[in-house]
Amino acid sequence: MVVWKKLITPVDATDKTPYQRSFYVEGGNFTYAGIVSTSIKSILKQMGLPADVVRKAAIVSYESEINIVSYAKKGVIKLTVDSQTIQIEAIDEGPGIPNIDLAMQEGYSTADQKIREMGFGAGMGLCNIKNYSDTFNISSEIGKGAFLKMIIDRH
Amino acid sequence: MKLREVKEILDAEVIIGEDKLDLEVKTAFGADLMSDVLAFAKAGSLLLTGLTNDQVIRTADILDIAAIIMVRGKRPASEAIVLAKGLKIPILTTKYILFETAGRLYAKGIVGCLEKVDNASGRN
Ligand SMILES: Nc1ncnc2c1ncn2[C@@H]1O[C@H](COP(=O)(O)OP(=O)(O)OP(=O)(O)O)[C@@H](O)[C@H]1O
Ligand SMILES: [Mg+2]
């Protein structure tokens, strides 16, 4: 509890010292898929942010995390909280997304059987991320990886 | 209605959450696709599903789902039980199929998280 207090205090104080933390995500390993987003959610909750804001951030983080696990070799999810916004960046090393417009389409999915057995592969994840973000950016370099940045307003 | 009443209506077995049966629920969402759940389910709802893996538990946690109802007699794997216990998410299992589960709850006043989507592509 003492540890949390130390981490959390600067966030509410001023945006000159935003709270920042990075989490490693392993590609292909479904055992822990979602654990990062569970942690992010609990951090945000303990900061005392409004429930609907926490929920939006948790959803966009979770969909990005599942995509890294599903399609990339490895990645990082970066959480930044300042006085106005929650920012979540999902940066991965993997095949990248050859056609972003296509990937963003509802229902488009290249998910394999393993991913589908987990309940994913509806081709809705990126749409969900866009819908729950106040600002959403996606870019990719083929053969290198994908980069997503989601901003959620705190108020 | 209280989760206790949900349990009775569905003749369900409580796998986790005996201590949470006084929880109030008003809405439910049924799906086997997690991204559909993430798109539509409201906080505090019941999640009716045929999936039993860790991802269902995590999805329920992310969305502040009140309780998971596993249909068609499905039971969570032991790892999923440990996870749900840690995240304090009640799990009930019923032998009714998804259609019957939804119908029985609806008849007693539980409503959907949304009635229908706005456009043909299935988004709200
Ligand atoms: N990080 C990534 N690296 C490479 N390809 C990706 C990545 N994220 C998404 N994609 C590609 O974009 C497609 C659409 O992704 P999206 O998250 O919208 O749907 P999905 O993962 O297939 O299913 P859902 O998210 O609904 O369970 C994926 O099937 C995959 O081909
Ligand atoms: Mg996805």
Which pLDDT belongs to residue A12? Answer: 53
Residue A4 lies in a domain: no
Q: How far apart are CA A145 and CA A95, in angstroms?
A: 6
Average model confidence (pLDDT) across chain A: 91
How many Å apart are CA A78 and CA A39, to the nearest integer?
A: 12
Rounded Cα distance between B32 and B34, Å, is 6
In a domain, residue A135? The reply is yes
Is residue A10 very low, low, confident or very high in pLDDT (cuts 50, 70, 90)?
Answer: very low
Those residues of chain B that have pLDDT short of 70 are 119-124
Q: Domain count for chain A, please give it.
A: 1
Nearest of A44, A38, A46 to residue A5 by alpha carbon:
A46
For residue B1, how far is its CA from the centre of ligand 1 (angstroms)? 38
Q: Domain holding A79: CATH number?
A: 3.30.565.10
Question: C-alpha A96: how far from its chain's center?
Answer: 16
Q: Cβ of B114: how many Cβ atoms within 10 Å?
A: 14
Ligand 1 closest atom vs CA B35: 26
Is A133 within the bounds of a domain? yes
In a domain, A95, yes or no: yes
Using the mean position of ligand 1's atoms as its centre, give its distance from the Cα of residue B17 in Å.
34
- Say what the pLDDT of residue A3 is: 45
* pLDDT exceeds 70 at position A5: no
Q: Are A86 and A49 in contact (CB under 8 A)?
A: yes
The reply to whether A12 falls in a domain is no
Range of the domain at A132: 19-153
* Domains of chain B, first to last: 3-111 (3.40.1390.20)
ipTM field: 0.91
* A106 interaction partners in chain B (CB closer than 8 Å): 121-123
Query: Given an 8 Å threshold on Cβ–Cβ distance, is A125 in contact with B54?
Result: no
| pTM (2 d.p.) | 0.92
